[in-house]
Amino acid sequence: MPVRKKPNLLLIGIDSLRADHMSLYGYPRLTTPHMDAYAARGATFSRCYSPHIPTTPAYTSMFTGLDCFSMDVVALRHEGGLRPELRTLAETLGDAGYATTCVGFSGNPASRGFQKYLDFSGWGSWDEGRSPKAENLNEVALPELKSLAAEAEPFFLFLRHMDPHSPYLPPGPFERLFYGGDECDPNNDSLNEVYAFKPFADYFRSWFPPGCTDKEYVIAQYDGAVAYMDACLGNIFTTLTALGLDEETLVVITSDHGETLQDHNCYYDHHGLYDPTLHVPLAFVFPGKVPAGARFEDFVHQKDLAPTILQLLGVKPEQKPDGRSLVPLMKGRPRRPEPEYYLTEATWMRKHGWRTPEWKLIHALEPDFHFKPEIELYNLLQDPGEDHNLASQEPEVVAFLEARMQAHIARREEQTGRTNPIYTNVNWCERGRPFTSAQEAYDAQYIGSPAAANKLQAKELRTQRGAKKL
């Protein structure tokens, strides 16, 4: 292998992977044995949160080190690309002499700046059969990893895994790894509400087995998809070792956001500012630079990734980040905590909120299609599942958290010179104006097939090309 002056970066972004369904974080099903073993070689963070969901703002924050005010991105279907003065991780590393390749994310504004884009089939349906998403990724990624390893310059390889993202259709034997029942039991009515939810019902029928009645089967498919992807990641890790790259490569494992499954009636997706969607995995492995077997309980965020990565690689950042490097923690030095923080969402509903270690406030900015109340308040210590809305019982707490949130918004607006983008991006759902009622939102938003969902999840490739010209 050629001798490189700078270390490589392998960043593994796993779409829709909720931390609490990983054995790495104590889930009783053994869903992530390969990631568990690999992460044990480095540092794992137990409380990493993705405050700006879903995919586009989460990855933009990850790739820039910025919060929503600085990056000006809050919506899944963000329009216009990233502002030209922003610098992404791919652009910064490219300027530092890195070869940069992006696998599986070519159609999104957040992925601006890579020198090469490679794609794979990351969707599927019941009629198309089981979806070997991770094997499809490996067919593209492994040859690229070998090609990059053979060159003299350092590389940045980003892999966007899609297995935990619906449709959950893991290949055998993973589809029944965690399920031994009868998914079509006529006496089971646990999916009745799902089938009655008109905006997504046809989409679910396109990948649920015909006649499926058991929600536990669908959840087991999610877990099976995670386990299948984990097994395929084992191939990536083994190849990295076989190429002799372990000692000179920083490997980062994370996710853009989690998944709701059937929590909070959000049904197998990633909307709603609840912790299953916000809590994501984070691990760094870099022998000699990152302590092995370390686990940290500090609150950290996606904006912390870029400054941490650049410091570990020894590359000077090209812009001042809002996030802060996690390297001091890894070296046993104190780091000022950031336990309360601002939340935004513009997926199928437009909301923002404020989270502290004890409380979470969720404030809807327009009616949502789940007919949830405008204000939600949860005591995270007494009610970690966020099942009991205390907004009407604790008006003083609501007022206190709202005041802290608004003070933060005002401070960041003054610092950046821009209005909070969650206020200005009113065409987040491609309709050009806010919803006036929950019924209007319910009637207007519809996904009928995986193809339609895929189109909504990522812009056409021409959008990415247009962003490159900015």
**CA distance linking residue 469 with residue 452, whole number of Å:** 27
The answer to whether residue 462 sits within a structural domain is: no
The answer to whether residue 454 sits within a structural domain is: no
Q: 43 and 26 in one domain?
A: yes
pLDDT band at 469 (very low <50, low <70, confident <90, very high): very low
The answer to whether residue 69 sits within a structural domain is: yes
Q: 190 and 117 in one domain?
A: yes
β-bridge mates for residue 378, sequence order = 360
Amino acid residing at 182: D
The residue-averaged pLDDT of 40-65 equals: 97
pTM of the model: 0.93
Using the 3D structure, point to which of 338, 353, 379 is the last residue of a domain.
338
Q: 352 and 234 in one domain?
A: no
Question: What is the number of domains present in the chain?
Answer: 2
The residue-averaged pLDDT of 331-338 equals: 90
**CA distance linking residue 415 with residue 149, whole number of Å:** 42
pLDDT band at 4 (very low <50, low <70, confident <90, very high): low
The answer to whether residue 363 sits within a structural domain is: yes
Tell me, what's the pLDDT at 79? 83
Using the 3D structure, point to which of 297, 315, 338 is the last residue of a domain.
338
- Looking at residue 179, which CATH number applies to its domain? 3.40.720.10
> Given a cut of 70, is residue 455 above it in pLDDT?
no
Q: 329 and 316 in one domain?
A: yes
Q: 52 and 177 in one domain?
A: yes
Summarised one tens digit per residue, pLDDT across range 382-425 is 999 999 999 999 999 999 999 999 999 999 999 999 999 999 98
Q: Judging by DSSP bridges, how do beta strands 375-379 and 359-364 pair with one another? A: antiparallel
**CA distance linking residue 57 with residue 53, whole number of Å:** 6
- Looking at residue 359, which CATH number applies to its domain? 3.30.1120.10
The answer to whether residue 463 sits within a structural domain is: no
The residue-averaged pLDDT of 286-306 equals: 97
Q: 128 and 242 in one domain?
A: yes
Q: 361 and 305 in one domain?
A: no
Tell me, what's the pLDDT at 453? 60
Q: 71 and 201 in one domain?
A: yes
* Containing structural domain, residue 21: 8-338
pLDDT band at 126 (very low <50, low <70, confident <90, very high): confident
Q: 366 and 290 in one domain?
A: no
Tell me, what's the pLDDT at 429? 78
Tell me, what's the pLDDT at 432? 74
**CA within 13 Å, CB half, 68:** 31
Joined tokens for residue 202:
């046809």
Q: 382 and 253 in one domain?
A: no
Using the 3D structure, point to which of 311, 338, 365 is the last residue of a domain.
338
Q: 143 and 68 in one domain?
A: yes
Helical (H) or strand (E) element with 437 = none
The answer to whether residue 261 sits within a structural domain is: yes
Place of tokens 């500012």: 273
The answer to whether residue 94 sits within a structural domain is: yes
The answer to whether residue 356 sits within a structural domain is: yes
Got the DSSP string for 180-244?
-S-TT-TT--TTHHHHT-HHHHHHHHTTSPTT---HHHHHHHHHHHHHHHHHHHHHHHHHHHHTT
Contacts of 390 (CB under 8 A, 6+ apart): 377, 378, 379, 397
Q: 367 and 326 in one domain?
A: no
Q: For 87-175, where are the E strands, in sequence order?
A: 99-103, 116-118, 155-161
